[in-house]
Amino acid sequence: MARKHAILDGFASRFSGVASSSGGRIALREVPFSAQLDFRANPADGRVVDSVHKALGFVLPTDPNTAATAGGRSALWLGPDEWLIVGGEGEESLLTRVLHTALGETFGSVVDVSANRTVIEVSGSAARDVLAHGCPVDLHPRDFGTGRCAQTLLAKAQVIIHQVNDAPTFHLFVRTSFAWYLAEWLLDAMTEYCAEEPIGVSVPLGGQESPSPLRG
């Protein structure tokens, strides 16, 4: 059986260097392999909404750019009839079954998009400032707090930003093909919040720190 390979494996040491050199003001890590399902259903269909609520513990959010979380799983608003259901590693088939059952015979769809995006977790008191370096959405707490999500561009890469707690901690859902680029950009944007330069910005692509995803 093939070994699972997180796209940002090679960044682990540079990621962990940020937390210490920034004096705890910022930390980042990859949260790989989360189960992600694109769920489309009619939000006005009370039976579907109730069924999801009973099974997963949250009500599918209908306010644009909001998320609902329960039991470590979340539903992120993607559109008026579309959500990204996020669960832990290996929960794809469980969530697929739950959502299929909720849909029943009604019009909708459940698609496993787990391989589409990886998650970069950015947290700490300076996290908001780092993201603001490259994000056109207003991330000020009066406008963007815990439980908010947004699909937007971060340094020209399409991302879904989800604020998961008041630390603040942000989950950045980024396409795996953009993950390296975004990780490099984040490390660069974090330089000014770090005491020295421990994050090896000068390591060239293809060097020891960044194994090619095409290998192994």
Among 5-13, 16-24, 73-81, 179-187, the segment contacting other proteins (CB under 8 A): 73-81
Residue closer to other proteins by CB (options 80, 206) is 80
Q: Are 37 and 111 in contact (CB under 8 A)?
A: yes
Smallest distance, Å, CB 150 to other proteins? 7
> In 3D, which of 172, 119, 91 has the Cα closest to residue 7?
119
Own/partner pairs for 164-168, CB < 8 Å, 24+ apart? Answer: 164/69, 164/74, 167/123, 167/124, 167/125, 167/127, 168/123, 168/127, 168/128, 168/141
Size of the site for other proteins (CB under 8 A): 12
Residue closer to other proteins by CB (options 78, 94) is 78
Smallest distance, Å, CB 193 to other proteins? 25
> Does the footprint of other proteins cover residue 65 (CB under 8 A)?
yes
Residue closer to other proteins by CB (options 144, 193) is 144
> Does the footprint of other proteins cover residue 153 (CB under 8 A)?
yes
Torsion of CA 97, 101, 106, 107, to 10 degrees: -10
> Does the footprint of other proteins cover residue 216 (CB under 8 A)?
no
Q: Are 173 and 119 in contact (CB under 8 A)?
A: yes
> Does the footprint of other proteins cover residue 141 (CB under 8 A)?
no
Residue closer to other proteins by CB (options 146, 151) is 151
What's the order of all strands across the beta sheet hosting 35-40? 67-70, 73-79, 82-87, 35-40, 109-112
Q: Are 164 and 171 in contact (CB under 8 A)?
A: yes
> Does the footprint of other proteins cover residue 116 (CB under 8 A)?
no
Which residues on neighbouring strands pair with residue 127, listed in sequence order? none
Collapsed DSSP state (helix, strand, coil) of residue 188: helix
> Which position among 55, 78, 155, 203 is part of the footprint of other proteins (CB under 8 A)?
78
> Does the footprint of other proteins cover residue 137 (CB under 8 A)?
yes
Interacting residues toward other proteins by CB under 8 A:
64-65, 78-80, 136-137, 150-153, 158
